[in-house]
Amino acid sequence: MSISASKLFQVLKKLDNKQRTRLQTYLQSSYFNQRQDVIQLFQALLHLDKPLDDKQLFEIIYPKKSYKPTELRLVMSYLFKLVEAFCCKHTGKKSK
């Protein structure tokens, strides 16, 4: 698993069930997120016991596409930014 996916994995695992549920609702809101692949990545990471390598993660999100590392990094970046915005909003801190 890449460093960014590992970091994302660690952040998501630190959330409690209530926070995860609220984050999922946040991600499913078309106001904050218009990408289905972001939701699929979120759900895949939540259901993992241990990190997968990037290719395996890509195959879960995009089962009918050939592996493109740049596409995976992009969707991970989108998800990380949304998680960061969610955490800032719900902790009262401002994002930099």
Count of CA atoms in the C-beta half-sphere (13 A) of 42: 22
Split at pLDDT 50, 70, 90, the class of 95 is: very low
Q: What is the pLDDT of residue 1?
A: 57
pLDDT of residue 48: 82
pTM, full prediction: 0.83
**pLDDT band (50, 70, 90) for residue 40:** very high
Task: Quote the pLDDT of residue 93.
Answer: 52
Angle at 53 between CA 52 and CA 54, to 5 degrees: 115
DSSP 38-67: HHHHHHHHHT-SSPPPHHHHHHHH-TTS--
Q: How many CA atoms lie less than 13 Å away from 18 in the CB half-sphere?
A: 1
More confident residue, 94 or 71: 71
pLDDT mean across residues, the chain? 87
Average pLDDT on 53-58 reads 90
